[in-house]
């Protein structure tokens, strides 16, 4: 009799667990200055949208978020302003960060789910306690029961295939929109980490400034980004004369105008920014222990992040550091996929988290049993 009751309770428990998995999600969240990526356990990446909010200037009401807001850039109505609530990888506008994250989390949930049991989020190395708390509070307002924060460099390393059991050190360069995170990991722990507040968006800004000052044409951020994508290269372009026509406003007359921009010109603009990033990598490696440096020399650099899509970046870093360099497949999703892998090992997740469990936690017991 006792055995039958035990079986019945056990069966009921696992049916309950299955039901919970249907109505609540375990999420991995990588909030960046340029994009927010969310993956859900068992479903993969479900949100990958620009981290931007369109706000009515008069009322403060949110008009659009993410992709819908991004298409307005440069063409927004006079009463609308676009806000990027994360700057240099940290929260700069708490209210809009909270609204943006809540919107993306709702989009990521299953159709009948209104509450997420847990989420693991990436956090930039070197953030202050206040910056850390702002991100944590924003996640709590998105109705997530338990929140774990893991350093971005470590998550990217795991997503790039570095095993947490490996003794050999690995160096990961995560090139984002506003920041570059350099992390050295060994045995699932951060040996060294450093965040440089320089990223691929700086190339866009430099292109806008150069064309305004030296070519007499004012262009918007979307046009600058298109130039970077179509013509940008970290190494000498194969065809320096290849060009793209861009339109904008003439600085002197205010009239519409157009110019041709060459690949060589974009290359010249990008070089100072890329050299600054490479210098940060060299400085990071120069302060490491000899055994760690030996491991990195043998293994080379691992490059992740959206900025890694710039043509020739791997070869550029190889030239500048004299280290073999590997750009991972789908570098934009390395961080969030690394966060997802942590759900497969609850003890490891607890060990790597940077934050205390949220007071909203109502699910720690069930998590322990999975």
89 and 147 belong to one structural domain? yes
pLDDT grade for 16, boundaries at 50, 70 and 90? very low
Range of the domain at 301: 169-327
Per the structure, the count of domains in the chain is: 2
For 297-320, write each residue's pLDDT tens digit: 999 999 999 999 999 999 999 999
Q: Which residue matches tokens 């020399």?
A: 297
Residue 206 domain-assigned? Answer: yes
45 and 112 belong to one structural domain? yes
For 114, the token pair is 């209104």
Please compute the mean of the pLDDT values over residues 184-190 and round it to a whole number.
87
Residue 6 domain-assigned? Answer: no
134 and 192 belong to one structural domain? no
Residue 192 domain-assigned? Answer: yes
User: What is the CATH number for 204?
Assistant: 3.30.420.40
- Residue 307: which residues within 8 A CB-CB, separation 6 or more? 175, 176, 177, 180, 199, 200, 313
As a whole number of angstroms, the distance between CA 29 and CA 45 comes to: 10
232 close to 266: Cβ distance less than 8 angstroms: yes
For the entire predicted model, the pTM comes to 0.82
146 and 290 belong to one structural domain? no
Poorest-confidence range of 182-191, 224-233, 240-249, 258-267? 182-191
Residue 264, pLDDT above cutoff 70: yes
Q: What's the gap between Cα 183 and its chain centre?
A: 15
174 and 306 belong to one structural domain? yes
- Would you state the pLDDT for residue 114? 53
284 and 203 belong to one structural domain? yes
Phi and psi (nearest 5°) for 129? Answer: -60, -40
For 58, the token pair is 């008069």
255 and 152 belong to one structural domain? no
Residue 17 domain-assigned? Answer: no
For 55-97, write each residue's pLDDT tens digit: 999 999 999 999 999 999 988 899 999 999 988 778 889 899 9
């Amino acid at each position: 009799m006792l055995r039958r009751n035990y079986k019945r309770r056990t069966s009921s428990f696992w049916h309950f667990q299955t039901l919970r998995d249907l109505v609540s999600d375990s999420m991995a969240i990588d909030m960046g200055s340029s994009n927010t990526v969310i993956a859900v356990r068992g479903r993969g990446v479900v949100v990958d949208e620009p981290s931007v909010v369109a706000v009515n200037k008069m009322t403060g009401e949110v008009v659009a978020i993410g992709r819908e807001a991004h298409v307005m850039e440069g063409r927004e109505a006079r009463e609308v302003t676009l806000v990027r609530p994360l700057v240099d990888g940290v929260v700069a506008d708490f209210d809009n960060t909270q609204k943006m994250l809540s919107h993306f989390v709702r989009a990521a949930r299953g159709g009948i789910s209104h509450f997420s049991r847990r989420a693991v989020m990436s956090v930039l190395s070197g953030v202050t306690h206040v910056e850390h708390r702002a991100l944590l509070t924003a996640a709590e307002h998105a109705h997530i029961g338990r929140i774990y924060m893991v350093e971005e460099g470590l998550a990217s390393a795991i997503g790039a295939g570095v095993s947490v059991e490996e003794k050999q050190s690995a160096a990961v360069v995560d090139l984002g929109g506003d920041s570059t995170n350099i992390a050295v990991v060994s045995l699932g722990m951060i040996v060294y980490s450093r965040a440089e507040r320089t990223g691929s968006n700086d190339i866009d800004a430099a292109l806008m400034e150069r064309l305004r000052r030296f070519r007499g044409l004012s262009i918007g951020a979307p046009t600058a980004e298109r130039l970077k994508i179509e013509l940008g290269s970290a190494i000498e372009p194969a065809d320096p004369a290849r060009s793209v026509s861009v339109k904008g406003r003439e600085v002197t007359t205010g009239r519409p105008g157009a110019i041709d921009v060459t690949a060589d010109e974009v290359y010249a603009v990008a070089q100072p920014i890329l050299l600054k990033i490479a210098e940060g990598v060299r400085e990071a490696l120069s302060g490491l222990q000899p055994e760690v440096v030996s491991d990195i020399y043998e293994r080379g650099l691992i490059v992740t992040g959206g900025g890694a899509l710039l043509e020739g970046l791997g070869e550029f870093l190889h030239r500048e550091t004299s280290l073999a360099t590997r750009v991972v497949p789908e570098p934009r999703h390395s961080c969030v996929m690394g966060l997802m892998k942590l759900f497969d090992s609850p003890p490891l997740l607890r060990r790597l988290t940077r934050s205390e469990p949220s007071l909203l936690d109502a699910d720690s017991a069930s998590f322990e049993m999975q």
